[in-house]
Amino acid sequence: MNETPVAPARHPGIYLLPNLFTTAGMMCGFFAIISAFNGRFTEAAIAVFVAGLLDGVDGRVARMTNTQSDFGVQYDSLADLVSFGVAPAMVMYAWSS
């Protein structure tokens, strides 16, 4: 009989794993903004650095678990905008004023 092989179904929670790293990175960006406006610039800089580490991990986890999705790509882009665009700009603005 000509049966096509069926891939085993993945647990739905595995799709959550890369998005958790992305969310943690975005939260680091938010934390950097809040810290900067409270005058804690060292903590803000560390938060941006941690966001960079988490950004490197989320893509690797998605590829290792084979859970890439269009949503994940767009969500990662949004997190990058917050963590590496808005947060450093706001930290510099708060530091300079």
60 located within any domain: yes
Report how many domains make up the chain: 1
32 located within any domain: yes
1 located within any domain: no
Question: Integer distance in angstroms from the first to the last C-alpha of the chain?
Answer: 74
Q: Give 44-91 pLDDT, tens digit per residue.
A: 999 999 999 999 999 899 999 988 888 889 999 999 999 999 999 999
Confidence band, pLDDT 50/70/90 cuts, at residue 13: low
**Tokens encoding 18:** 């890369």
Quote the domain boundaries for residue 32: 15-96
* Among the listed residues 57, 69, 54, the one whose alpha carbon sits nearest the alpha carbon of residue 12: 69
For residue 24, is pLDDT > 90?
yes
CATH of the domain at 30: 1.20.120.1760
**pTM for this structure?**
0.83
7 located within any domain: no
